[in-house]
Amino acid sequence: MRQRASCQDKGKNQTILHKLRQKSKECLPVFRKNGADVLVELLIEWGVDHVYGMPGDSINAIIEALRQRKDKIRFIQVRHEEAGALAAAAYAKLTGKLGVCLAVAGPGAIHMLNGLYDAKLDHAPVLAITGQVDTAVMGLDYFQEVNVSRLFDDVAVYNQLLISPVQLPAVVNQAIRTAYAEKGVAVLAIPGNLPAMKMEKDTRYTSPRVAKGTMQPLAHDVDAVCAALNQTDKNIVILAGKGARGARAELLALAEKLGAPIVLTLPAKGVIPDRHPYCLGGLGLLGTRAAYEAMQKADILFMVGASYPFTIYLPENAFTIQLDISARQIGKRYAVDIGIIGEAKSTLSQLNERIAYHENREFLASCKANMDKWWKKMESREEAESPKILPEYATRAMEEVANDDAVLSCDVGNVTVWAARHFRCTNQHFILSSWLATLGCGLPGAIAAQIAYPERQVFALCGDGGFAMTMADFVTAVKYDLPIIVVVFNNQKIAMITFEQEVLGNLEYGTGLVNPNFAAYAQSCGTLGIRVEKKEDLLPALRQAINAKRPCIIDVLVEADEIPMPPKVLKEQAIGYAKHLAKELWEEGRMSLPPILRL
């Protein structure tokens, strides 16, 4: 009887417990996703696996949503929102994928602007998410209120202020889709109260998809190009831009058929190997003498994915063909005889099937001979004797230790010249702020590259002026254990501006720098820092940094007065520099000849 009663009591207890549970469910509110949950889940659906940003009050709900999904999407905390935007832009340039950055309302949003302009001008797909003041106080000059819609109007291809969480799915999808389609910046401004609002239902009217395809040229344009090239034996030069990236084999096949040398714009460095027999290097002040002379002798110019701004270095009266994926670029900067719209790889493949082999190789041979002379000149500068380390040698040393698939994130300034001329790319990926040319891009670019390619070597090549602008974010590399190698060319001055002042006939003013010991700074961040003052110590330092497998700064004391000689010195430049030397002697009682001019 006791056993039966016990079983009955147990059954009654379970029934009561079940009723209590049901009652509690009825009393508790049904869990619903908030706006931040939907936003972050959409990013994940689009394949975004990390976001650069700095936490703050107007985006706290978004940060919490990221935390809850940290196994699927990483939040990379930066020390300055500009660095986050520059990193997002660099990631997009490297991979073609969406770069994402996040900032608080007001100052955080403003800080992002420089990096977003870098993305805009280099045609990189980036999504910038910024907070805004709560909807209840918008338009009342509230604390940290900035008109973000107006702020980002020029930089963005899509710019939207949200006012309801119901908008989120469709607007986020449209923003990302537009960034991809137009290769530009999309901005979402989200009031601080909106991400925490509960969604009545998670309704998706659009999908996280963007259609991709290859733009094919029109048949009559292909006919026109083939007819023009097959009916000439004149001097042909190919100018390849970053639009030719990914079409190496097709580009070289075209050059082989035409007997045409290839000149590269700076963003196209690495499209073909720098030491390839058909490569004449870059053009302009950062370029080679061989490229300059080839352009002066060109009868036909074939531009492939290039929109070169410095037309003074292009031929004056050449018959010009321009291939570009965007109709906006055809004839934009230079008079064009034939424009052909299409993706470089597939279009060049079609052309190669129909273009005849050109027997005359005299022009190509003369260009090769000029390029051989140029390389010998560069090698002589790399090996020249100097009390301090020459930047040309320092760059060549980096080339010696770099793996074939390494990434080189180059800052702006004289280091850009040294990298363009003295780091011979084979298959390395070279990135920089090519159109905005913003100082400080080297370090954020390296951070993004190491996140994108964790198994590759990543170098940041920086001048002391550029590195100092974003050096606070070196601790970001330390925090996330990113084994980037930052090589700082320390010459205690903003050297390129110094040179510009001198060729204008002026004295150097306002360009000197007071620098910390950058190696000691790295050590204070808890990682490896090496200071190099002697030429023979540089290669061992680079190898030590590579083997360390952790973030490192190599502080290289380079010759301060080495100047980036242009491939051809113009008359005005020579006269201006002579005036500078005369002023220096007259006003300061000295004449500081750079090493390259010393006898």
Contact 450, 400 (CB under 8 A): no
The three-class DSSP label of residue 487 is strand
85: tokens are 């935007």
**Burial state string for 237-251 with b = 16 or more CB within 10 A and e = fewer than 16:** bbbbbbbbbebbebb
Comparing C-alpha atoms, which of 233, 286, 246 is closest to residue 263?
286
Q: According to the model, what pLDDT value does residue 297 have?
A: 96
Round to whole Å and give the CA distance between 551 and 519.
Answer: 11
Where do we find the tokens 């220096």? Answer: 584
Residues pairing with 410 in the sheet? 461
Task: Give the 3-state DSSP-derived string for 177-214, with helices as H, strands as E and coil as C.
Answer: HHHHHHCCEEEEEEECCCCCCECCCCCCCCCCCCCCCC
Q: According to the model, what pLDDT value does residue 595 have?
A: 62
Q: What string of pLDDT tens digits covers the 599 residues of the chain? A: 445 445 556 566 666 656 555 655 454 444 478 999 999 999 999 999 999 999 999 999 999 999 999 999 999 999 999 999 999 999 999 999 999 999 999 999 999 999 999 999 999 999 999 999 988 888 888 898 999 999 999 999 999 999 998 899 999 999 999 999 999 999 999 999 999 898 877 666 667 777 777 789 999 999 999 999 999 999 999 999 999 999 999 999 999 999 999 999 999 999 999 999 999 999 998 999 999 999 999 999 999 999 888 888 999 889 999 999 999 999 998 999 999 999 999 999 999 999 999 999 999 999 999 999 999 999 999 999 999 999 999 999 999 999 999 999 999 999 999 999 999 999 999 999 999 999 999 999 999 999 999 999 999 999 999 999 999 999 999 999 999 999 999 999 999 998 888 888 898 899 999 999 999 999 999 999 999 999 999 999 999 999 999 999 999 999 998 988 888 877 888 888 888 888 877 777 776 766 655 53
Q: Which fold has domain 35-191?
A: Rossmann fold (3.40.50)
Between strands 319-324 and 300-304, the pairing is: parallel
- Residue extents of the structural domains in the chain: 35-191, 219-370, 383-597
The DSSP call for residue 590 is -
Burial of 133 (0-12, 13-18, 19+ CB in 10 A): buried
Residues in CB range of 84: below 8 A, 6 or more apart: 52, 53, 54, 76, 78, 101, 102, 103, 112, 115, 444
Contact 126, 85 (CB under 8 A): yes
- What is the tens place of the pLDDT at every residue in 172-220? 999 999 999 999 999 999 999 999 898 877 666 667 777 777 789 999 9
The DSSP call for residue 355 is P
Distances (CA, A) of 490 to 469, 523, 543, 553: 14, 17, 19, 12
Where do we find the tokens 């100082």? Answer: 439
Residues in CB range of 592: below 8 A, 6 or more apart: 561, 584
Cα-Cα-Cα-Cα dihedral sign, residues 336, 226, 304, 156: positive
Round to whole Å and give the CA distance between 432 and 410.
Answer: 5
Strand order in the sheet with 99-103: 74-77, 50-53, 99-103, 126-132, 185-191, 156-161
The three-class DSSP label of residue 51 is strand
Comparing C-alpha atoms, which of 504, 499, 520, 494 is closest to residue 563?
499
Sequence-ordered alpha helix ranges (H) in 487-537? 495-503, 518-524
Round to whole Å and give the CA distance between 228 and 321.
Answer: 9
Contact 190, 133 (CB under 8 A): no
Kindly report the backbone phi and psi dihedral angles of residue 93, in degrees, each rounded to the nearest multiple of 5, phi listed first.
-65, -40
Round to whole Å and give the CA distance between 458 and 405.
Answer: 9
Comparing C-alpha atoms, which of 313, 138, 320, 310 is closest to residue 224?
320
Q: According to the model, what pLDDT value does residue 200 have?
A: 76
Round to whole Å and give the CA distance between 422 and 62.
Answer: 45
The DSSP call for residue 550 is S
38: tokens are 């939907």
Tell me if domain 219-370 and domain 383-597 are identical in fold: yes
Range 219-370 has CATH code 3.20.20.150? no
Q: According to the model, what pLDDT value does residue 207 have?
A: 74
Q: How far apart are the first and last CA of the chain?
A: 117
To which H or E segment does residue 43 belong? helix 35-45
Contact 584, 498 (CB under 8 A): no
pTM greater than 0.85 (yes/no): yes
Report the CATH number of the 383-597 domain: 3.40.50.970
Comparing C-alpha atoms, which of 485, 460, 471 is closest to residue 517?
471
Q: According to the model, what pLDDT value does residue 573 have?
A: 80
Residues in CB range of 337: below 8 A, 6 or more apart: 228, 319, 320, 321
